[in-house]
Structure formats: structure tokens, C-alpha cells
Amino acid sequence: MKQVLTIITMISCIYTQSVLSQETKIVEDFKPSSVNQPERKFPQVNSQGRVRASISAPNANKVQLDIGGVKYDMIKDANGIWSGESNPQDEGFHYYQLNIDGASVPDPGTLYFYGAGRLGSGIEIPSKDQDFFALKDVPHGLVSENIYFSKLTNSFRRCFIYTPPDYNENIKTHYPVLYLQHGSFEDETGWPSQGKANLILDNLIAAKEATPMIIVMDNGYAYKPQNNQGNKKEQPASVFEEVLIAEVIPMIDAKFRTITNREHRAIAGLSMGANQTMRIMMNHLETFSQYGGFSGTSNYPSTDVIDASVFLDGKYKDGDALNKKIKLFWLGLGTKEPSPFPKSIGAFRAMLDQQKIKYVYYESPETAHEWLTWRRCLYQFASKLFR
């Protein structure tokens, strides 16, 4: 009996090792990433979602591929070319970098994106549902750069404006506006670049699944000028709310054909931007009627149960009063979001349920705190706006 059990155990181990070997075997069907610089063959992505990087550094002693905070050693060939692969990555867009002898640098093979507090490399792992943000043969809107001087920050600032495909043809038509914010350590380039906001709206509008709208994407980092006296430095105070309400919205209404009432004005953001826009909306319900929070709420990063009286801020006695003001209250996150996001958003939803505040909730399957989550959120949210 013992011999039989031993044989079965050995067979089981051999089978397990065989399965693991098949699972870890690298499939050689790598293709250049869709966000590479023109004519660059590397980095590449295969059907498993692995990233293969390659760089010429003949004098380097150690080179690593750093993606998602995990570093993978690369190997040098006789010509001084270093190559290496990552483990399979989740679908969607990821920031990454190379580490050469201890120095973290962008991969010269990719386009550069501002994220994680730096201009650096990005990689796109093809997603099964990428059709909704794909570049298609449909009418396209225009993303324009708008530079303005802010008296509140005493500095020049910039926002990007998406106008829908028919904006320049239908010159008598006025449009609703969505103010859309980026996350922490990102800027106003995030949504039109990594987020593909313009392509998402182009495709939705072409399919008649969204109302044509203007989207304004500003920089959420706005600070009051510092008054430094001697060696004492003041902590910079954020004035983004004031900049948006007092400077950006009046400017947009003056420069573009907008519908200038709260019923046709929405605000949304991701992560830090969700927190910012939640507070702005609640402070200015005379300005906005629709809200979208992607991977964030007003109680982020706290995971405590939020006090309804704090959220309602004494302006509304109960949820019914707020329901009459907010036409669409929308929340979304990925199913693989790291702590504290699931707990924080769960606590916030519990407060909304207790107060009987109506909202729409969406979960992006198999995505974490990343751009595919937020692309899907925008796709779902925009299809319900201004209906």
C-alpha cells in the first residue's frame, strides 16, 4: 500500500511540475508595443501579457526591467545588448522603467507619458475589450491646448479641451460640459493621452450611445503663491477648487459654445481627482448636477465609516433632498484594487445606502488602480451623462 501511495505521489509531483513548466514557459509570439516610438521594435508584448525589453548598454554591469514595482534581471549578449522579460501583466496600460547600474531611466524605445510623478515609459498590454477606446474610422473630435494665466496661483496654467466631432460644423449648437480630473502624480495630459478620453467619446458618439459634449481636463495641482519670510517656508495651500470655479469655468463658458447651467455641467475624476471633484461638487451644487468618482471617494484615504452629517455638510437634511439636486451620482473601481480603495469605497457606499442617496455603482473586472479601470469607468459614465 505504501509503495502504491509513493508511486501516486511521484506521478502527481511529475504532473504538477509539467503543468507549472507549461504555465511558466515563455510563448515566443512577441510583438512591438502599440505605444512604441516610430520604427522601434522594443519593448514587445506577447500573448501571455509578458513584456520584453531590450537596450544597448555595453558598459553596464547590471540592467533590470522595472514594471509594477517588480524588477526583472536582464541578460547581456556578446554585442552588449541587454534583454529580459517580465512575468505576465494585467491587461491595460502600465508605467515602467529600466534600471541601469542603480539608475532608473526611461526606456528609449517608448513614447513618454507623465505619470508616477515623472515623464517615463509606458506599455500597453492588449485588452479583450479594447474596441471601445480603439482608433476607428469614425468622425473625430478635436483636443486643443488652452493656456491661461491664473491670478489665484499667479502662474500660467494649461488645460486640454475636447470638442465633439460636429462642434465646428454645427456652429449654432451649444454643448454640455464634463470637467474631468486626473489622479495623483499625474497631470492634465493623463486623460487625453493614457486615458484615451477623446477616442472613447468619439466611439460612443458615433454609435449614438453618448450625448455630444465638451470635456475640460485641467491640472489638479494648483497652489496659492507662497509667502516665505526668512528661512520659514509655508506649506503650499491648494486652491484648485477656487481656480476651477472662479477662473476655469467662466473662461470655458466664454471661449466655447457651452450650455451654461448646472443641469448641463458634470464633474468627475480618478483617485485623487475623485476626492477633489467630490468635495467641489458638494460645495457647488449650484454649478454641477452630475458626478463621477473613479477609484476614489470623499473619505479617501480613510477607511473609517464616513459621517453622513459631514458629507451632507448641513446643507441637506437627508438623502431625499440631495437626490433632487444630483441627476447622476456614479461610482466605479476595479475588482483588483489594492488597499485601502475597496474598504474606503465600501464605507462610502454604506453611508450612501444608509442615507438613501441614489447612485450607480460599477466594477471593472480584473483590473486594479490603473488606466484600463478608468477608461472603462469613463466609457460607462459618459454613456449616462446628460441623458
Q: What pLDDT score does 227 carry?
A: 73
Please report, rounded to a whole number, the percentage of residues in the chain having pLDDT higher than 70.
89
pLDDT band at 123 (very low <50, low <70, confident <90, very high): very high
State how beta strands 51-56 and 44-45 pair: antiparallel
Q: So what's the pLDDT on residue 10?
A: 39
Strands (E), the chain: 31-32, 44-45, 51-56, 63-67, 70-73, 75-76, 81-85, 92-100, 103-105, 112-115, 118-125, 142-150, 155-163, 177-181, 214-218, 265-270, 290-294, 328-334, 360-364
Backbone angles phi and psi of 201, in degrees to 5: -70, -40
Name 83's bridge partners. 54, 75
Distance CA 121, CA 378 (A): 23
pLDDT interval class at 315 (50, 70, 90): low
Burial class, 13, CB count within 10 angstroms (exposed 0-12 / middle 13-18 / buried 19+): exposed
Of 306 and 83, the one with more pLDDT: 83
> What digits encode the pLDDT tens for the residues 253-268?
999 999 999 999 999 9
Q: Is 163 left (phi over 0), alpha (psi -120 to 50) or beta?
A: beta
Separation of alpha carbons 40 and 367, rounded Å: 28
pTM of the model: 0.90
**pLDDT at position 298 over 90:** no
Pairing of strands 92-100, 63-67: antiparallel
Q: What percent of the chain has pLDDT over 90?
A: 80
The answer to whether residue 362 scores a pLDDT higher than 80 is: yes
> What pLDDT shows up at residue 230?
58
The pLDDT value given to residue 19: 37
Residue (of 270, 324, 267) closest to 290 by Cα position: 267
Task: Provide the 10 A C-beta neighbour count for residue 326.
Answer: 18
Q: How far apart are CA 132 and CA 205, in angstroms?
A: 11
Name residue 215's beta-bridge partners: 162, 178
- For the domain 131-382, what is the CATH superfamily, name and number? Alpha/Beta hydrolase fold, catalytic domain (3.40.50.1820)
Given a cut of 90, is residue 121 above it in pLDDT?
yes
Tens of pLDDT, residue by residue over 191-245, are 999 999 999 999 999 999 999 999 999 999 999 998 765 566 677 899 999 999 9
CA distance 382 to 200: 9
Q: How far apart are CA 187 and CA 185, in angstroms?
A: 7
pLDDT given at position 231 = 61
User: What is the pLDDT at residue 275?
Assistant: 93
State mean pLDDT over 359-378: 97
d(CA 115, CA 362) in angstroms, rounded, equals: 25
The answer, yes or no, to whether the previous bond of 340 is cis (omega within 30 of 0) is yes
Contacts of 157 (CB under 8 A, 6+ apart): 147, 148, 149, 150, 218, 219, 222, 243
Mean pLDDT estimate for the chain: 90
Confidence of residue 6 (pLDDT cuts 50, 70, 90): very low
pLDDT surpasses 50 at 4: no
3-state secondary structure of 362: strand
pLDDT in tens, 58-98: 999 999 999 988 999 999 999 999 999 999 999 999 999 99
Q: Which residues of 334-369 are buried (b: 16+ CB within 10 A; e: fewer)?
A: bebbeeebbebbebbbebbeebebebeebbbeebbb
Q: Give me the architecture of the 31-126 domain, per CATH.
A: Sandwich (2.60)
Question: 259-270: b or e for each residue (b if 16 or more CB lie within 10 Å)?
Answer: beebebbbbbbb
pLDDT band at 41 (very low <50, low <70, confident <90, very high): very high
SS3 of the chain: helix, strand, coil, percent, to 5: 25, 30, 45
Same fold, 31-126 and 131-382: no
Q: Where are the domains of the chain?
A: 31-126, 131-382
Distances (CA, A) of 309 to 13, 289, 319: 59, 20, 11
Q: What is the pLDDT of residue 236?
A: 86
All three cell numbers of 357 = 442617496
Q: What is the band of 300 on the pLDDT scale with cuts at 50, 70, 90?
A: low
**Amino acid 8: pLDDT:** 35
Residue 301 predicted with pLDDT over 70: no
Mean pLDDT to the nearest integer, 268-293: 95
Average pLDDT over residues 123-128: 96
DSSP string, 33-75: -TTBPTT---SEE-TT--EEEEEE-TT-S-EEEEETTEEEE-E
CA 19 – CA 118 distance, rounded (Å): 40
What DSSP designation does 359 have?
-
SS3 9: helix
